[in-house]
Amino acid sequence: MLHSEVIEQTVAFVKETLIGAEGGHDWFHIERVYKNALRIAKDENVDPFIVALGALLHDIADSKFHNGDETVGPQKAKEFLTALEVAPEVIDHVVKIINNISFKGGNTKQQFKSPELDVIQDADRLDAIGAIGIARCFNYGGFKNRGLYDPEIAPNLSMSKEEYKNSEAPTINHFYEKLLLLKDRMNTETGSRLAHNRHIYMEGYLKQFYDEWNGVV
């Protein structure tokens, strides 16, 4: 099967699988990450086929929506690509990307590295910051019935992976525990450049948020 046909079928599979998904982790999130990954990949020495498949399948079954089970996504992707008779080495690479792309609190050492993962990780992180990142953050906070902000609950910057996964802190805390950290954790020059403006936007948003909270404006 041609690479273009595999990608076309993968798009259809992801769209169907994510019908009804939480708004920050739906098909449109995948589509944005996919487009950003292709954009970043133009400036990197990577396999575009692996970048495309990894980006499209990176959140096919996010563990947050499967009782914390991190094996569901990689297994689902592996079964799908195997059915399409994709080369085993490509499947193995995509599975490793899915297993290693997420932030997981920022204190967990990544077990696998590749230029393709670097590109997709940057694309995924870009969608977590800026205007869309803010919208996704509050959408997920609402989905989990979390408070917006509580001045008495300070952000925890030294969480373990399990603490991060199980945190019930207000949504604003997530800016400090993840979103504001991402600018300095980008892997590629293009990713860093794109993250810069989104980071500044978030800083401006937080200033406005606190000013309104405190009745300054």
Q: pLDDT > 70: what percent of the chain?
A: 94
pLDDT over 70 (residue 107): no
The terminus-to-terminus CA distance of the chain in angstroms comes to 59
The encoded tokens of residue 31 equal 């589509």
Segment 178-194 mean pLDDT: 97
pLDDT at 64: 76
pLDDT, the chain, mean: 93
Q: What is the pLDDT of residues 25-78, one digit of tens each?
A: 999 999 999 999 999 999 999 999 999 999 999 999 776 776 666 888 899 999
Segment 151-163 mean pLDDT: 87
State residue 109 phi and psi, 5-degree precision.
-70, 130
State residue 162 phi and psi, 5-degree precision.
-70, -40
pLDDT at 124: 97
pLDDT at 104: 65
Q: Are 195 and 132 in contact (CB under 8 A)?
A: no
pTM: 0.91
DSSP 200: H
The encoded tokens of residue 202 equal 């978030």
Q: Are 10 and 53 in contact (CB under 8 A)?
A: yes
Segment 12-19 mean pLDDT: 96
Ramachandran class of 145: left when φ > 0, alpha when ψ lies in -120 to 50, beta otherwise: left
Q: Are 39 and 25 in contact (CB under 8 A)?
A: no
Q: Are 30 and 59 in contact (CB under 8 A)?
A: yes
